[in-house]
Amino acid sequence: MPIVLDAMGSDNFPLPEVEAAFQAAALLDTKILLVGQEERIQPLLADHAPDLRVELIHAPEILEMGDKPARSARRKADNSMAVGMDLVKEGKAEAFVTAGNTGGAMANGLFRLGRIPGVKRPALTTVLPTRQGYAIAVDIGANADCKPLYLLQFGIMGSIYAEKVLGIKNPRVALLSNGEEEGKGNTLVKDTFPLFAESSLNFIGNAEPKELFGGEVDVIVHDGFTGNVLIKSSEAVSRLLLDVMKEELTGSLRTKIGAGLAMPAFKNLRKLMDPRMIGAAPLLGIDGLVFVGHGRSDALALVNSLQRAKQAVDAGLLAGLKEAIQSQLSNPVQEEEA
């Protein structure tokens, strides 16, 4: 079953998407459906040897980064996201990948695929590098204002994703707070804590960012406002550190010699901090596999995004999410909270 790639998503579309489609088709031995404006994509296909695993599906409209998501998703009914997600809904593809407008992906996902039954709010996720590997952060911007039940479902879905796709057994789940102790945090965190404690999750309590990036947490849960600030702050600090290191290590002959000797370590650090290696992350809670990557994604990032989507398909992520949500709904305490 094919995977759909939105050919009109990245900042430099459609060239990175075309390159990624051919690379991923060969690497994953999977058919890739490129969805977008035929007149702009077809000339680029001519630069590649014909491959039956890459197919072009015409979509006449584009959802621009500046478009208002909900209104544009309705007004541009034939945008590449909508056409691609319809292929998933109709059973002609297993998953959808885009590097386009995140809000647009969420709006089209809700309009075209709907929510998993029982899910109160879908959540945006991302994968963060930590000292021990990677961690899942949920939510990073879809829901600025949340209720305790929303956060519980974020934790459930994030845990399933970490287990099935990242291969983390019995993921450690924590609430992001300003202190580790129970009773720390704002009203939302305090009210949510008992729900997590009574759930079947491997809940380890509250966690500060130092525990998250120290590798002591596999899934960190927070409202979308807090999560968005967390992600943007961590990205800014990462860029600052890399820029300062580069300036300092190239400032004199002595530091250049030292930098040359330490080059393997710096390459490993850069790889760890490189978002292209992580690829896209799923919109958890949508009744279909929808993955959203960064707008700056190049071919490498998109290949890794398609690989992540294929891992989710092979692991049965969607079925696992549905089963976990239904199990949560059967809990009388949590159902009363809803």
User: Residues 220, 138: contact at Cβ < 8 Å?
Assistant: yes
* pLDDT tens figures, 164-184: 998 999 999 999 999 999 999
Q: What is the CA radius of gyration of the chain?
A: 21
CATH number of 3-119+285-316: 3.40.718.10
The DSSP bridge partners found for residue 34 are 5, 56
Backbone φ and ψ for 12, nearest 5 degrees, come out as -110, 25
Q: What per-residue confidence (pLDDT) applies to 162?
A: 95
Q: What per-residue confidence (pLDDT) applies to 332?
A: 57
With b for 16 or more beta-carbon neighbours within 10 A and e for fewer, the 186-202 pattern comes to eebbbebbebbeebebb
Please choose, from the candidates 242, 268, 245, 243, the residue with its C-alpha nearest in 3D space to the C-alpha of residue 255. Answer: 245
Q: What per-residue confidence (pLDDT) applies to 238?
A: 82
User: Residues 62, 8: contact at Cβ < 8 Å?
Assistant: yes
Residue 277 DSSP one-character state: G
Please choose, from the candidates 105, 140, 104, the residue with its C-alpha nearest in 3D space to the C-alpha of residue 125. Answer: 140
Q: What per-residue confidence (pLDDT) applies to 329?
A: 79
Per CATH, domain 125-275 is 3.40.50.300: no
State the greatest distance between any 2 C-alpha atoms of the chain, in Å, as a whole number.
68
Please choose, from the candidates 6, 94, 24, the residue with its C-alpha nearest in 3D space to the C-alpha of residue 317. Answer: 94
Q: What per-residue confidence (pLDDT) applies to 64?
A: 83
Q: What per-residue confidence (pLDDT) applies to 338?
A: 47
Beta strands in 28-132 (DSSP E): 32-36, 54-58, 95-98, 123-130
The pLDDT tens digits along the chain (338 residues) read 899 999 999 999 999 999 999 999 999 999 999 999 999 999 999 999 999 999 999 999 998 877 888 888 888 999 999 999 999 999 999 999 999 988 899 999 999 999 999 999 999 999 999 998 899 999 998 899 999 999 999 999 999 999 999 899 999 999 999 999 999 999 999 999 999 999 999 999 999 999 999 999 999 999 999 999 998 898 888 888 878 888 888 888 878 887 787 778 777 766 666 777 788 989 999 999 999 998 899 999 999 999 999 999 999 999 999 999 998 877 755 554 54
* pLDDT tens figures, 150-165: 999 999 999 999 999 9
- The pTM of the full predicted model, rounded to 2 decimals, is 0.90
Q: In whole angstroms, what is the distance from residue 56 CA to residue 33 CA?
A: 6
Domain extents in the chain:
3-119+285-316, 125-275
* pLDDT tens figures, 278-335: 889 899 999 999 999 988 999 999 999 999 999 999 999 999 999 999 988 777 555 5
Domain 3-119+285-316 shares a fold with domain 125-275: yes
**Residue 92 DSSP SS3:** coil
